[in-house]
Amino acid sequence: MEALKRSITQYGQVVGTDVLKVDGFLNHRLDVSLLAQMGRDVYDHFSDCDVDEIVTIEASGIGYAVLTAQFFNCPVVFAKKKGARNQAEGVYTATVHSFTHGNDNVVAVDKRYIRPGDKVLVMDDFLAHGEAVRGLLSICEQAGAEVVGVACAIEKGFQGGGDELRAKGVNLYSQAIVERMDEHEIVFRD
Amino acid sequence: MEALKRSITQYGQVVGTDVLKVDGFLNHRLDVSLLAQMGRDVYDHFSDCDVDEIVTIEASGIGYAVLTAQFFNCPVVFAKKKGARNQAEGVYTATVHSFTHGNDNVVAVDKRYIRPGDKVLVMDDFLAHGEAVRGLLSICEQAGAEVVGVACAIEKGFQGGGDELRAKGVNLYSQAIVERMDEHEIVFRD
């Protein structure tokens, strides 16, 4: 998705060997106009899939998912990262390791919001090792829902998570795949 | 805002004396169509304020803020609840007490994303004691930005945060103000 690649090239900052900071438009400051274009592109890719809901994970996936959901005219369900006092019993959970934060999070979705047979589009802003997406796929499987596809904004191809999902037959659409990167250059997969 | 009040009446669950659960459309499952209507209503209220950016807080404020920002054609900046390995130095911070979770969070915004003189609309999904909004106002003040207004979806009027902000001269717009509630009834302020 060319507009996204241009923003990554222009504003992305590579830190060390594996961190790509895109705080300026995707992870902290949200370029709502770009996200809406990205949402339209995701919709074009999955428009024949009859999506019942988009499932994502807090926090930075939410803006991207919501602006995509407008085109599908469907709700968004976001997995929560920990139990809260006012969170209901009756949740599907998965453990997700964060390489960024160096810890494990339990993510949870209320059983009422993903129903058996629902057609789900899973979305996340980043796909690296694939931990978050695998957690969301597990939750959808527990719910008896059908995952019609997975969309992510930026896949770090060199970390392998995306290719593992494709090898398992997941219908994955990454809007920009970074093949390699260093402080001088960010190279996208064709 | 009548559509929001109807959803609160229909789907809201009162837990104990002070928790209003609206997970079904605002806090966990997001009713994107309703949120877009709410965003339009916020825009109508603040459309003459020349908003440069909307500032909110992760996580559940993000969807509401992003769908509002589409009308203003402006970006959203969301305060992050804790430091992350890939978060830059150079942030404005505030400490926010969460009565829901019973803890304090440091929230942070990168200094690059709120500039001196920016006209900021602060948004959050809930306003109870006003802790989160006060934290965001502090961050905007540190940045030298001008807060042109505060919009929140649901104000729990009986917890006093909204009235304190009004008494200080904050231009606060709450789309639904719950005057009192119990397990049988939710009553809105006129």
DSSP secondary structure letters along B47-99: GGG--SEEEEETTTHHHHHHHHHHHHT--EEEEBSS--TTPPS-EEEEEEEET
Is the pTM higher than 0.90?
A: yes
Q: ipTM of this predicted complex?
A: 0.94
pLDDT at B105: 87
Find which of A32, A38, A67, A120 to mutate to test the B interface (most B CBs within 10 Å of its CB): A32
How far is A20 from A2, CA to CA, in rounded Å?
18
Q: Any idea what DSSP says for residue B189?
A: -
Alpha helices in chain A (DSSP H): 2-11, 32-46, 61-72, 131-143, 161-167
Residue B21's identity, in one-letter code, is K
Q: List all residues of chain A from 94 to 133 with a beta carbon under 8 Å from chain B.
A: 100-102, 109-110, 112-113
The mean pLDDT value for A57-83 works out to: 93
Find which of B60, B66, B100, B120 to mutate to test the A interface (most A CBs within 10 Å of its CB): B66
pLDDT at A123: 98
Measured in degrees and rounded to the nearest 5, phi and psi for residue A89 equal: -65, 170
Q: Name the least confident of A134-138, B16-20, B126-130, B171-175.
A: B16-20
How far is B146 from B87, CA to CA, in rounded Å?
25
Residue B83, pLDDT above cutoff 50 = no
Confidence of residue A35 (pLDDT cuts 50, 70, 90): very high
Any B CB within 8 A of A67 CB: yes
